[in-house]
């Protein structure tokens, strides 16, 4: 029987690459989108045409984590099982005002929004996924993180501290869910060339610095993250849990 991935934020960038990676490896995919239903449905059609299988798109406001409960009920109606859950969706624009900026300009609302989208949404989504994974004998849960909690990145205090927090949550979840046959890990990407990064006002500066610092002399691509996410859900990673994997082109050490 085909397995099923549930992933938040599957229409662009890293999320889109992850959806493609799992689909081409024979995994059915339930992915969420924020607002562009037309784009989401076009992706469903494209995947169905290329790979067969089952793919569905669901609208999700990541700032309302409790809505995961109803979302998973919808997924239950469309899919027979849930084997993997990846928390990938992020927020940008007005939602991060007061959370993305110099330390002295940070405001509670922006900081709380980032924490909600990064940490609380991961917890609620993982809880709902776990209830389904127990029924099929286990599974794999992954949170996307970033090296912004390891390397100073201008204006990144709000995101960086939330990424550090979610990596800690991953460790606790791994210990508490292991007896259910569920492994929990994080994948921490260095700056990846995505639409989200291009919205940063200092994008060109960040890109230049990454290329300079990486011994591979290039920016990271969404596919660089997708590959390790898929690996972590396979039997080849069956004794890996509670870990954060850094995928940064060697820039953290530079």
Catalytic residue flag (residue 163)? yes
Catalytic residue flag (residue 3)? no
Distance from C-alpha of 91 to C-alpha of 34, rounded to nearest angstrom: 9
The residues facing 216 across adjacent strands are: none
The residues facing 33 across adjacent strands are: 59
By C-alpha distance, which of 131, 138, 140 is closest to 181?
138
**Residues 71, 45: contact at Cβ < 8 Å?**
no
Task: Write phi, then psi, for 199 (nearest 5 degrees).
Answer: -80, -15
Q: Which of 115, 156, 180, 212 is catalytic?
A: 156
Q: Which of 68, 163, 207, 230 is catalytic?
A: 163
- Active site residue ranges: 156, 163
């Amino acid at each position: 029987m085909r397995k099923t991935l549930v992933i938040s934020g599957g229409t662009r960038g890293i999320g889109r690459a992850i959806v493609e990676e799992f689909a081409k490896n024979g995994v059915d995919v339930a992915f969420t989108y924020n607002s562009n239903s037309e784009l989401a449905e076009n992706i469903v059609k494209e995947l169905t045409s290329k790979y067969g299988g089952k793919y569905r798109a669901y609208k999700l406001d990541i700032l309302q984590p409790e809505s995961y409960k109803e979302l998973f009920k919808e997924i239950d109606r469309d899919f027979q099982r849930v084997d993997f859950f990846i928390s990938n969706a992020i927020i940008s624009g007005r939602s991060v005002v007061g959370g993305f900026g110099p330390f002295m300009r940070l405001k509670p609302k922006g900081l709380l929004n980032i924490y909600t989208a990064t940490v609380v949404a991961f917890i609620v989504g993982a809880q709902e996924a776990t209830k389904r994974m127990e029924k099929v004998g286990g599974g794999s849960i992954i949170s996307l993180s970033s090296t912004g909690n390891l390397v100073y990145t201008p204006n990144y205090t709000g995101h960086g501290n939330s990424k550090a927090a979610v990596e800690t949550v991953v460790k606790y979840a791994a210990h508490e869910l292991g007896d259910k046959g569920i492994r929990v890990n994080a994948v921490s990407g260095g700056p990846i060339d995505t639409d989200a990064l291009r919205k940063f006002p200092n994008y060109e500066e960040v890109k230049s610095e990454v290329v300079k610092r990486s011994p591979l002399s290039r920016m990271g691509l969404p596919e660089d993250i997708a590959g390790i996410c898929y690996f972590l859900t396979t039997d080849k990673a069956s004794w890996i849990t509670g870990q954060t994997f850094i995928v940064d082109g060697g820039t953290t050490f530079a």
